[in-house]
Amino acid sequence: MLEETSTVFLETETARILSHIEAARDRLGTDPAGAEAELADAQATLEDLRDYYLPILHARERAYNAYRSLYLGDGARVMDELSGIEEILGAVAAEAESGALQELQALGEALADARLAVEAGSEEAGPALESLARRLNQAALKGDLILRR
């Protein structure tokens, strides 16, 4: 059975952005350089959302779709979802810095394991897809740690 998911990381990152914007407003008249630094931090957080969190969230959704499709007997959709995850992880890796590459490599290995199990028609296909979804969920939840390595 798949675990519950969370989007608390989106709330955390949104709060971080708002905090930087509020700090920039407070500094605008008295400390333009400080305001600029706060805006740069807000931009960096938005870029993390765009380049890491949202793609990982989309990949997680596709993994859950693949899991459901397996149990509905829709093998073509399972493979389509796995291909979509591969594209997402590749795009994230292309933009990633070294701290995230190790995590992305582990996700790629979980994806390969799931694909092999599905292609083989193995009884391990369900557990492999579940493991992939779980790992993607964890990658989203611990994104801050991964991105700040």
Could you tell me how many helices (H) and strands (E) the chain has, helices first? 7, 0
The one-letter code for the residue type at 4 is E
Q: For residue range 65-108, what is the model confidence (pLDDT) as tens digits?
A: 999 999 999 999 999 999 999 999 999 999 887 778 889 999 99
Whether residue 21 is contained in a domain is answered as yes
pLDDT surpasses 80 at 1: no
Band of pLDDT at residue 3, cut at 50, 70 and 90: low
Domain count, the chain: 1
d(CA 107, CA 102): 9
Whether residue 149 is contained in a domain is answered as no
Whether residue 66 is contained in a domain is answered as yes
Whether residue 91 is contained in a domain is answered as yes
> Which structural domain range is residue 116 located in?
8-144
Under a CB-based contact definition with an 8 Å cutoff, are residues 66 and 88 in contact?
no
**Tokens coding 106:** 């582990």
Q: CA angle, 131 as apex, 66 and 92 as ends, to 5°?
A: 75
Q: What's the chain's average pLDDT? A: 92
Closest C-alpha to 56, from 127, 148, 145, 141: 141
d(CA 84, CA 100): 19
Whether residue 1 is contained in a domain is answered as no
Whether residue 46 is contained in a domain is answered as yes
Q: For residue range 127-141, what is the model confidence (pLDDT) as tens digits?
A: 999 999 999 999 998
**Tokens coding 109:** 């290995």
Whether residue 90 is contained in a domain is answered as yes
Whether residue 70 is contained in a domain is answered as yes
